[in-house]
């Protein structure tokens, strides 16, 4: 005969666990409640006695002793629970402080590396001719992204621009299969020169969707409507680790010679090695 059970062993054990958890959670309160019930019974019952094993005992005495016993147990359980909760709260405070400290250290680490990368990007911009008078051109922006293989995204780690509004580094990442950054990653380099007149944002967005594979939402979110761009893969010993984006609001500023200039730059070579050395640790931040 085949035996069939409505519930699996796992389901039955889960129910048993919930019962045990409920008992642990509420036994102290239950004991106090029982003590209260015995106390009420003591006030309502007057004088009966019972006989057991040849002894006559007043029921009042039994109820009183039972009420006291349950009250002691309930009070002890409540106190123990409060002490346990207090200990847990102290441990939680310690964990929160440790997490806050770790977050602070990570932020310091991120800012230190961002500062180092920014200084190197400024040096690279000067070598590429974007700082003819010592100040970076307001129409130009350089950004370093490293690739996070586990998430298939590019994460920005440093950015420089002569325009303060274009200098802010976004916190979000970029999909590895969209835009000129994806083309630069896949083909080592990709250059784009917009055919859209300056100021025509709607047509620029459409151009990015049609020619660069961006989603309409992604194109809409881009604040800098660059008219010339170069995406250059960062690699060390033929191992790709990231992408450098050079972009300008001027149509001819990032020209066809820019790739060769960047590849010949000693600063870019050093920058590539630095990105490779911190890629793994930085991706966990």
* 52 and 160 part of one domain: no
* 30 and 165 part of one domain: no
Task: Give me the pLDDT at residue 2, please.
Answer: 44
* 136 and 83 part of one domain: no
For the record, the structure tokens of 110 come out as 């991120």
Q: Is residue 103 part of a domain?
A: no
Could you give the CA distance from residue 114 to residue 129 in angstroms, rounded to a whole number? 22
Q: Is residue 115 part of a domain?
A: no
- Domain harbouring 190, CATH code: 3.30.450.40
The predicted-structure confidence for 203-261, as pLDDT tens digits, reads as follows 999 999 998 888 898 889 888 999 999 999 999 988 999 999 999 999 989 998 999 99
* 93 and 137 part of one domain: no
Residue 10 has pLDDT above 50, yes or no: no
Q: Is residue 121 part of a domain?
A: no
The position carrying tokens 């784009």 is: 192
* 90 and 133 part of one domain: no
Q: How many domains does the chain have?
A: 2
* 146 and 276 part of one domain: yes
List the one residue out of 282, 255, 276 whose CA is nearest residue 128: 255
* 271 and 232 part of one domain: yes
Q: Is residue 271 part of a domain?
A: yes
* 149 and 79 part of one domain: no
According to DSSP, the residues that pair with 272 across neighbouring strands are: none
Give pTM, 2 decimals: 0.64
Q: Is residue 45 part of a domain?
A: yes
Q: Is residue 16 part of a domain?
A: yes
Cβ atoms < 10 Å from Cβ of 98: 10
* 134 and 267 part of one domain: yes
* 143 and 224 part of one domain: yes
The whole-angstrom distance between residue 136's C-alpha and the CA centroid of its chain comes to: 33
Domain that holds residue 137: 128-283
Q: Is residue 242 part of a domain?
A: yes
Q: Is residue 237 part of a domain?
A: yes
* 79 and 132 part of one domain: no
* 148 and 275 part of one domain: yes
Task: Give me the pLDDT at residue 85, please.
Answer: 65
> CB within 8 A of 136, min separation 6: which ones?
122, 125, 130, 160, 161, 162
The predicted-structure confidence for 23-67, as pLDDT tens digits, reads as follows 555 555 665 666 566 566 656 565 555 555 555 555 555 556 666
């Amino acid at each position: 005969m085949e035996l069939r059970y409505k519930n699996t062993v796992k389901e039955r054990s889960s129910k048993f666990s919930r019962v045990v958890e409920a008992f642990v959670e509420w036994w102290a309160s239950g004991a106090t409640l029982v003590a209260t019930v015995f106390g009420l019974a003591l006030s309502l019952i007057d004088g009966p006695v019972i006989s057991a094993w040849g002894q006559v005992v007043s029921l009042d005495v039994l109820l009183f002793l039972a009420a006291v016993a349950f009250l002691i147990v309930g009070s002890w359980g409540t106190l123990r629970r409060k002490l346990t909760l207090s200990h847990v709260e102290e441990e939680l405070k310690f964990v929160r402080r440790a997490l806050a400290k770790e977050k602070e250290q990570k932020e310091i680490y991120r800012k230190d590396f961002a500062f180092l990368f920014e200084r190197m990007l400024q040096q690279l911009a000067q070598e590429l001719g974007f700082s003819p008078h010592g100040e970076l051109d307001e129409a130009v922006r350089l950004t370093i992204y490293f690739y996070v293989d586990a998430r298939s995204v590019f994460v920005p780690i440093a950015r420089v621009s002569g325009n303060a509004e274009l200098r802010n580094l976004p916190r979000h990442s970029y999909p590895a299969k969209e835009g000129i950054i994806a083309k630069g990653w896949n083909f080592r380099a990709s250059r784009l020169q917009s055919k859209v007149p300056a100021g025509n944002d709607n047509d620029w967005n459409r151009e990015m969707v049609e020619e660069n594979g961006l989603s309409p939402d992604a194109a809409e979110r881009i604040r800098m409507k660059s008219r010339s761009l170069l995406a250059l893969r960062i690699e060390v010993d033929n191992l790709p680790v990231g992408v450098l984006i050079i972009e300008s609001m001027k149509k001819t500023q990032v020209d066809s010679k820019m790739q060769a200039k960047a590849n010949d730059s000693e600063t870019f070579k050093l920058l590539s090695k630095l990105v490779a050395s911190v890629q793994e640790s930085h991706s966990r931040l």
